[in-house]
Structure formats: structure tokens, C-alpha cells
Structure 1
Amino acid sequence: MEGLHVIDLTRALAGPYCTMLFADLGADVIKVEPLHGDVSRTQGPYRADDELLAFGGYFASVNRNKRSIAVDLSNAEGVDVVRRLAREADVLIENFRPHVMEEIGLPYEKLCAENPRLVYGAIRGFGDPRTGRSPYADRSAFDIVAQAMSGIMAITGRPDGEPTKIGPGIGDIFPAVLTAFGVMAAVADAQATGVGRFVDVAMYDAMVSLCERVVHQHSFVGAVPAREGNDHPLLAPFGVYRAGDGWVAIAAPLDRQWARLAEVMGRPELAADPALATNAARVAGRERVRAVIEEWTAARTRAQITETLADTVPCGPVNTVDALFTDPHLAVRRMLLEVEQPGSATPVTVAGQPIKVTGAPEQTFRRAPLLGEQTEEILRERGFDPAHIERLRSARVVR
């Protein structure tokens, strides 16, 4: 994406994760922050030796490879600064509530009138009225709200327990990924036609898309799926099983996989048993399947189980995060990245970029920027002379 210019007016998690994808792949992402900075800068966690406290792990994780300019958008001159940035940009992405950009003075219509090829991406809880006005349009949303409303929490957790939130903020991150995909489709179109598009992803919509299975189950057979713990409603075995030193995931829904698993467990007769021979039969007899598997797994470690099965039956240990730091796969795939942390004597580790492209230069990763670290650099690139920049700084229009 080298040569693609992205104006990033996002904050918190969904928007910054989206723009990080562009930055990781080479786009020039200019993060426009208020003078006090993105709210996530102060949300930690911090290194014990960090006295600078410029930003913690939350901000560091999803704002790498970006440049920062701090602008007061309550000031007309600050708004004009962003308009000038947008005139030369390929993409602008924001995740405010509807009408906030209008109130600021930076509506899509004004920006695209000044730059017709601009692709404008918006992430909102319930979408933008331009693409379909939701009765919930003016509501705010967070990850847990999107997870709750989409139906994903209703099918997550133990059958006798409460609805359970997925651990990572997928109500933010999945909409972010879809927005990046939609924006790139619009960029390709703009490169061909010279005309940009408004790209809108609602967090609620994205999470319903992620829950596609429950939608088709309800439509096809009228089911209202409920929580099934770590089991799958349509496949067996397909779950998490107790090992001698923790838990292991095993998935053998295909009959040949089940036959191989039965052979490894020393129970080849199970593959011929009519009560277990097919996936449908195993789903119906799920508790017996679990008992048979756990009789074998409980007597072995996760490493023993994985070493025995993984080449022919999909399986893997249930890892805690410390195990990730010693996993040779993640080392080879560069999925744990060390970056400088201002204020700390040693680098910190953040999750890597999973998109790998053959023939591309080796990806480089810069730490997240300090607040307004590149303000002057960015303004000079856009034609602001030094005296003008100093006046904007003195008036606290920029930082």
C-alpha cells in the first residue's frame, strides 16, 4: 500500500485497528488526535520503569506505523487543517457517532466535493443514515453491546451459565477488518473511475454477519440455538477435552478423522459402531463421545496428545498467553513483534501482522507515535510555512 495516503480520525479500538492494517501494509497513515490525545493513550498498562507515560499497551498495540498530528477540531483553523489534509488524501476513516463530523464542519459531502476521489470509511455502532437509517442510529455502542445484540453471547458459555462475552474485543475488531476490506474495494474503484465512495460498517451488522450460523439454523429449521459450552451443534467430536495437564482442542467430525482418532486411542471398534460411525450419530451421542475421548486424553499431557494426533487429526493445546511467547510457529511467522516503548529501557511486544505476501519487502514495524510527534513534518509536507505552523502552535490550534 505504499503511496496510499490515509487520514485517521479514529479513536479507541475499532477505528485504530482498521487503520493499523493499512499502516502495517505500507500506507502513510496520519493519525489526527485532539490536543489531549486519543483516549486510549491513558488506558495502560504501563511498564514499571516508564515515567514518561506517553502511552500504554492498549495504544501501542493498534497504533504502530502511524504518524500523529494533534489538532483542536473545536477551532475553525483546526478544522481547516484537516480539510487541507483530506484534499490530498486517498482515504479518510472515522468512528464517531452519526452527525459528529457534520457538527465539526467536516461532513463527507464537503470533503468529497473538494476531493472527488476520496474514499470515506465510517465505523459506527448502528451504521450511518446515508446507507440506511437505523432506529438505533443515534445510540452509542461498545464491543460488549455489539456482541450482546448480535446473538453471539447467547451461544457462548456453558449451557447452565450466563451469556458470555468473547474475550477479545471482536465487536470492535471484526467491524474494523470489514471496513478495511470495504475501503480497499472502494479505493480500487476510485483508481479506475476517479470517484470515491462512502463506506459504512455498523458494529451490530458486522457481528450479525459473524453469527451467520445461527441465522441459517433459524431460517432452515426454526432453531433458536443456545449455549453449548465448547461443543458444536452440528459437528462431533469438535470441542475441548480435559488433558492430564490442562485442556486440548480436538476436531474430528469427518468419518475418516474419527476412524483415525479411534485407532490412536486404541478403540478401532468405535469407527464401526453404528451409534458413532457418522457425524450425525456422534452429534446425537455427544456425551458418550466426550467420555470416550476424555478417558484417553486425561491420561496424557497436551504435548503428548498433540504430538500423537496433529499430523492426521486437527488438534491443539488450549494455550495461555505465556505459551505464545515460546511457540516456534509464532516466532517463524513474526507474530510477536518487539517495538520501542518511549519511557522504558527495553522494547515491548505487540501482536504481529497475520497478512503475509510473497515477494513483498520484509515488513518493518515502528512504535506508535508520541502525541503530535509528526505535526510539523506533516504540515510542512502539505505546504504550511514555518511561521504559519508556529502561529498555529502558539494559538493551540495544533500541538
Structure 2
Amino acid sequence: MSALSDLRVIDLTQVLAGPYCTMLLADMGADVVKVERPGGDLIRSNPPFVEGAEAEAYGGYFQSVNRNKRSLELDLGDDQDRADFLSLVETADVVVENYRAGTMERFDLGYETLRDRNPSLIYSSIRGFGDPRTGETDRQGQPSFDLIAQALGGVMAITGQPDGPPTKVGPGIGDLFTAVLNAVGILAAVHHRDRTGEGQYVDTAMYDAIVSLCERTVYQYSYTGEAPGRRGNAHPTLFPYNAFETTDGYVVIAAFSDGHWRALCEAMDRADLAADYPTGADRLAARDDLREEIAEWTLTRSSAAVVEALDGSVPAAPVQDTSDVFADPHVRAREMLATVEQPGVDEPVTIAGNPIKLSETPTGVDRRAPLLDEHREELLDSLARAGDDGEQVRSDD
């Protein structure tokens, strides 16, 4: 039994934020029914593709965040499809959507309508700027993507080199962090419903999520009156906490505590530095000069040699690319590389595993992402049986 095996989620989301949220629930065992608009999720056709794979299938983007789900293609503007959707809602615990505010209302399928059909329903939305039900602003209804959230929320202003332009964080954190928070909100609402029988509306905005993610900048501005800027790989209040070049790449060293600082100086054979800069305040005041001292030491050594010299005494690691991650035994042992089938080819593909580890109800990547409308027959047949029997029927095949 999986932790969420008794939970049915109707997933109306597409692209990244919503699908990642429902992927987390699916990986923990929820029956996630991906209801796709005519033509399917916009990201189905996004590369990369495996050579020889079925053209009508999907690329790596869709595969990665839509595993463990079932697909049903519905046109919510069509009377029969709308009726089928409402029948699905009656069997559901959760509905998740990431349209612009007001979109579901145009189909008369907003929260209030669905709640009338299923009073214990948990309705969740992920939007760029949230939903008016939880706090109305003039930004609602505007389109938003990860880049917009990163720009508005402040993360780009503190990312990049001091003399460089504002820089987007590599992964789509505006989508991904919002998705994780939304999944937490859904599970909190499920817990509340289990105690009271009451459903509710769960709303997570991308802009809000990035403000929360940048919590450090909020208190820094409040305490100092100055907006934090870009510091490259450095930390505003901790030193050393940075990346340093080696003969074959880069390493990161986090030796900001007094004990770690002394251990670093010992490994560098620089007892004088430990004596001259014994406190964090001392080191922060001299950070530019001290950074040069550490950089001079690392530049004469390989990344492996630096890490070995500091192993067990100072937090340090090489800066790895994805090929290094694939080769790391730790990643394999933690099941963070999952293999799944790719329609149309014989060899499996690899996608990221689930980092949430549960001892009694393990998470897992059990099924590839679905083909568009792949599960129409089994889903609609279950609805028909439910109607005939007057009962809710759930299929987890």
C-alpha cells in the first residue's frame, strides 16, 4: 500500500508547475487522472526526443513530470465531455488546475460549482498571481511563467556576479517550488477534511512562492533598509562560503563556523590565518583578502585533492555536472535516477526519482507518462459502473 493510494486527484494542469505538484502525489500512490484539453498538454511536443520514438508520444519534458498518471482527453466546452468531467469530480478527492484566474468559471466549472457536486472536494489552483478568493490583486489574470516569477519575486536580483546582469536560476524554481508548496497545501487540506469532513480551496501563487523562497532578502531589507544585491557564489553574512577554482574544475567550501575555519587553515598549513581571524566577524571584514588566500591554495590542486584534504573536517564538494551526477553511487543508491519505458523505442530512458523517502509506504516511479487519452476506456467504463451501481468506483490499474 502506498501512502496516498486512497486518494483520487483530477489533474487539469499542464506545462511544469501543476504537473510537478500532481507528480509528487502520484509518486506517493495517488490515482492521478490527467484530464487534457483537445490536443493534450502543451508540453507533450517539447524536446528532447529519443531517436525512433513514436512521433505522437512525447519528449523528455512531458515524460519527467507526468509519470504514474492516467490520461483522458476532454473538451470542457463540449456538453458530453463536460458531463463526463463532472462525473469524475464526483469520484475525486482533489481537483488541481493551473489556468489563469477565471478560466474554469467560463466553463461554469469553478470551485463553487464543483463543490456543489462534491461537498468534500479539495480544489487547488496554481497561478502566477493567485486567486481572488484568497486575496484579490490587480495582477490576477495576467499570464505568468517561471521567468516572470523569478523576476518579480526578487531571486534574479540576488543571482549572478556582482558586476553582471540579474540572472535566472537554472531550474524553473518559480514552477517547482510553487508546486511543492501546493502539494503541501493539498495534503494539509486532506488532513483537515479527514478530521472535519470539510473540503476547501487551496491556492498557491508563483509570485508568493518566490517571495517565500527569498526569505533572507526580506529580513535583510527589513533589518538594514538596503535591498540585497548579487554576490556571485558568496554568502552575504557567512565566510568562507563560496566556490573556488581548482586545476580541473571548481569546489565549494563552507567553513564559516570557527571550528571549520580552523580545520580549513590546518589543511592549508596556514595556522597564521586561524590565529589572525578567529571569529566570523573578523573573517567577514577581511573576506576579499581571505578569499584570495583560499583560491591560491585550491588553484594548485585538483578538485578531488581539495575535497580529500578537507574530508571529514570541513564541508566541501566538487561542482558536478549531470554526467557526474549519473556516475555518483550515492545518487544510484538513493534511487534518484528512475528508468521508464519510452513509447516507440526498446531502450528505457532515465528521469529524476522522487526525493521523498517513506519507510513504510515507499514512493516510486512505476509507470511511464501516458499517451494522450490512453486511459479513456478504463476511466469512462468505471464512471459508467459507478452510475449503474450508485457507488464510486476507483481503478488503480
TM-score, normalised via structure 1 length = 0.94
Residue type matched to 2:101 in 1? P
Post-superposition offset of 1:51: 3.8
Q: 1:306 to 1:365 in 2, by over 3 A?
A: farther
Match of 2:394 in 1: none
Match of 2:355 in 1: 354
Match of 2:287 in 1: 286
Q: Which of these residues, 44, 48, 53, is aligned with residue 45 of structure 1?
A: 48
> 8 Å contact 1:52–1:342 — kept in the other structure?
no
Match of 2:272 in 1: 269
Match of 1:341 in 2: 342
Q: 1:377 to 1:364 in 2, by over 3 A?
A: same
- Residue 67, structure 1, aligned to residue 70, structure 2: yes
Post-superposition offset of 1:66: 0.4
Match of 1:22 in 2: 25
Higher mean C-alpha displacement, 171-180 vs 104-113: 104-113
Match of 1:115 in 2: 118
Q: Which of these residues, 147, 168, 185, is aligned with residue 188 of structure 2?
A: 185
In 1, the alpha carbon distance for the partners of 2:362 and 2:238 equals 41
- Residue 257, structure 1, aligned to residue 260, structure 2: yes
Percent of pairs with identical residues: 51
**RMSD value over aligned CA atoms?**
1.4
In 1, the alpha carbon distance for the partners of 2:121 and 2:256 equals 47
In 1, the alpha carbon distance for the partners of 2:381 and 2:126 equals 30
Match of 1:226 in 2: 229
Match of 2:157 in 1: 154
In 2, the alpha carbon distance for the partners of 1:167 and 1:337 equals 22
Please list, as runs of the form range in 1=range in 2, the aligned pairs for 1:3-152 lying within 5 A after superposition. 3-152=6-155
Alpha-carbon deviations, 1:289-340, whole Å to 9, x = none?
Answer: 2111111111111112122213221111111111111001100001011110
Q: Which of these residues, 214, 217, 224, is aligned with residue 214 of structure 1?
A: 217
In 1, the alpha carbon distance for the partners of 2:39 and 2:66 equals 16
Match of 2:177 in 1: 174
In 1, the alpha carbon distance for the partners of 2:129 and 2:362 equals 38
Higher mean C-alpha displacement, 359-368 vs 131-140: 359-368
> 8 Å contact 2:28–2:363 — kept in the other structure?
no
Match of 1:236 in 2: 239
Q: 1:250 to 1:53 in 2, by over 3 A?
A: farther
Post-superposition offset of 1:384: 5.8
Match of 1:317 in 2: 318
> SS of the residue aligned with 1:240?
strand
Match of 1:383 in 2: 384
Match of 2:375 in 1: 374
> 8 Å contact 1:17–1:176 — kept in the other structure?
yes
In 1, the alpha carbon distance for the partners of 2:59 and 2:151 equals 28
Residue type matched to 2:287 in 1? R
Residue type matched to 1:171 in 2? G
In 1, the alpha carbon distance for the partners of 2:172 and 2:249 equals 25
Match of 1:395 in 2: none
Post-superposition offset of 1:268: 1.8
> 8 Å contact 1:53–1:343 — kept in the other structure?
no
Residue type matched to 1:282 in 2? R
Residue type matched to 1:197 in 2? Q
Post-superposition offset of 1:370: 0.5
> SS of the residue aligned with 2:34?
strand
Post-superposition offset of 1:364: 4.3
> 8 Å contact 2:353–2:364 — kept in the other structure?
no
Post-superposition offset of 1:52: 3.2
In 2, the alpha carbon distance for the partners of 1:301 and 1:378 equals 57
Higher mean C-alpha displacement, 326-335 vs 313-322: 313-322
Instruction: State the number of aligned residues.
Output: 384
Q: 1:71 to 1:179 in 2, by over 3 A?
A: same
> 8 Å contact 2:126–2:203 — kept in the other structure?
yes
In 2, the alpha carbon distance for the partners of 1:238 and 1:245 equals 20
In 1, the alpha carbon distance for the partners of 2:152 and 2:10 equals 31
In 1, the alpha carbon distance for the partners of 2:343 and 2:46 equals 16
Match of 1:396 in 2: none
Alpha-carbon deviations, 1:327-363, whole Å to 9, x = none?
Answer: 0110000101111000122111001100001133473
In 2, the alpha carbon distance for the partners of 1:111 and 1:341 equals 35
> 8 Å contact 1:9–1:33 — kept in the other structure?
yes
Alpha-carbon deviations, 1:61-84, whole Å to 9, x = none?
Answer: 000000111111121221111111
In 2, the alpha carbon distance for the partners of 1:311 and 1:356 equals 26
Alpha-carbon deviations, 1:158-184, whole Å to 9, x = none?
Answer: 111100000000010000000000010
Higher mean C-alpha displacement, 238-247 vs 353-362: 353-362
Post-superposition offset of 1:207: 0.3
Post-superposition offset of 1:277: 1.7
TM-score, normalised via structure 2 length = 0.94
> 8 Å contact 1:79–1:105 — kept in the other structure?
no
Match of 1:2 in 2: 5
> 8 Å contact 1:46–1:53 — kept in the other structure?
no
Structure 2: tracts of 5 or more residues without a match: 388-397
Match of 1:308 in 2: 309
